[in-house]
């Protein structure tokens, strides 16, 4: 991994696989990071290649090999890498030699299942999780009763629940013949956002499974299984794609596409005879 020194401390930490840049900034503000045996609490500090950087008194160094992994997290596993009250950690399901270097990209709560990404690349994690990139996350939600369209309309507009920023669905889609199952898409991913939205509207979430992150699909990955992401998936995710396969268009959408192509051909012909 090539780094141009001097580099900002939080960027250096991210490239060491400590976590995303935002997570590393939190570590710095908490006084848990030292440079050359001096505690650093302010942002903007830069480090050079020969500086000694420590997190919680352990020296960290830039990692040469990077990992990008998709896991189908089962219900009952936690995303944190250590909690004295827990015994089942999602990262432990990833059986590779360097698994201790990995951290989860975003979160799924203990009672939820589905697609969860792991990496040791802090820059990649930042691009996937930062709200400004608006990476879509799609969930399959099982509710305790059929949902009212008016409630979904409210959720699309935004609900003020416990912060000054609204909890908001980007879109939704009913599962055929089951109004108690629904697919919802979000872009921010606040803590327990889906559960809070439906609880606020008067519904109980019976189960919650993440099916997609950007263009990456859970697909046929079985519960507890993991796989490496492809370069095509990683590139598509960073580019903000929601699918790697162009979807076929039907009806009005197909007619509109044909009309636009016909107009373009006609325009090109006119310009060719000028």
Catalytic choice (51, 109, 151, 180):
109
Binned at pLDDT 50, 70 and 90, residue 254 comes out as: low
pLDDT exceeds 90 at position 207: yes
Cα separation, 253 vs 237, whole angstroms: 25
Average pLDDT for the chain: 89
Higher pLDDT, 267 or 153: 153
The pLDDT of residue 188 is 81
pLDDT of residue 198: 97
Residues 42-47 have a mean pLDDT of 94
CA atoms within 13 A on the CB side of 182: 23
Question: Under DSSP, is residue 271 helix (H, G, I), strand (E, B) or coil?
Answer: helix
Strand partners, 78: 89
> Is 180 part of the annotated catalytic residue set?
no
Residues 41/10, Cβ–Cβ less than 8 Å: no
Higher pLDDT, 225 or 239: 225
Of the ranges 97-101, 113-117, 173-177, which one carries the lowest mean pLDDT score?
Answer: 97-101
pLDDT at residue number 244? 86
User: Can you give the pLDDT at residue 252?
Assistant: 61
Looking at per-residue pLDDT, the higher value among 33 and 258 belongs to 33
Q: How confident is the model at residue 17 (pLDDT cuts 50, 70, 90)?
A: confident
CB-based burial, 242-251: b 16+ in 10 Å, e otherwise: beeeeeeeee
Is pLDDT of 249 > 60? no
Average pLDDT over residues 156-173: 93
Contact of 71 with 118, CB cutoff 8 Å: yes
How confident is the model at residue 257, as a pLDDT? Answer: 65
Structural domains of the chain ordered from first start: 7-59 (3.10.290.10), 65-134+220-245 (3.30.70.580), 136-213 (3.30.2350.10)
Strand (E) or helix (H) holding 15: helix 9-15
Tell me which of 129 and 151 has the higher pLDDT.
151
The average pLDDT across 122-137 equals 88
Quick one: pLDDT at residue 122?
Answer: 84
Is 264's pLDDT higher than 90? Answer: no
Q: What is the pTM of this model?
A: 0.76
pLDDT at 253: 59
Q: Is 193 a residue whose pLDDT tops 80? A: yes
Question: What is the predicted pLDDT for the residue at 91?
Answer: 94
Contact between 240 and 214 (Cβ < 8 Å):
yes
pLDDT tier for residue 195 given thresholds of 50, 70 and 90: very high
Structure confidence at residue 2 as a pLDDT band (50, 70, 90): low
Whole-number Å distance between alpha carbons of 274 and 265: 15
């Amino acid at each position: 991994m090539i780094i141009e020194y001097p580099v900002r401390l939080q960027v250096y930490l991210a490239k060491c696989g400590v976590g995303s840049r935002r997570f590393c900034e939190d570590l710095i503000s908490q006084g848990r990071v030292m440079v050359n045996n001096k505690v650093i609490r302010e942002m903007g500090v830069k480090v050079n290649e020969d500086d000694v950087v420590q997190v919680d008194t352990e020296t960290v160094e830039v990692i040469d090999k990077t990992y990008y992994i998709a896991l189908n997290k089962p219900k009952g596993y936690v995303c944190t890498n250590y909690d004295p009250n827990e015994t089942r950690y999602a990262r432990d399901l990833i059986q590779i030699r360097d698994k201790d270097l990995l951290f989860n990209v975003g979160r799924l709560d203990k009672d939820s299942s589905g697609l969860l990404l792991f990496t040791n690349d802090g820059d990649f994690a930042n691009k996937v999780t930062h709200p400004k990139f608006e990476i879509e996350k799609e969930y399959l939600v099982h509710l305790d009763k059929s949902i009212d369209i008016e409630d979904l309309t409210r959720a699309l507009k935004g609900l003020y629940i416990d912060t000054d920023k609204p909890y908001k669905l980007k879109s939704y889609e009913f599962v055929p013949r089951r109004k108690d199952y629904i697919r919802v898409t979000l872009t921010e991913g606040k803590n327990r956002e889906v559960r809070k939205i439906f609880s606020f509207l008067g519904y109980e979430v019976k189960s919650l499974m993440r099916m997609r992150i950007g263009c990456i699909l859970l697909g046929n990955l079985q519960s507890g299984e993991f796989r490496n992401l492809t370069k095509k998936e990683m590139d598509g995710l960073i580019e903000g794609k929601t699918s790697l396969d162009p979807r076929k268009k039907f009806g009005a959408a197909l007619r509109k596409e044909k009309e636009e192509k016909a107009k373009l051909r006609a325009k090109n012909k006119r310009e060719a005879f000028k």
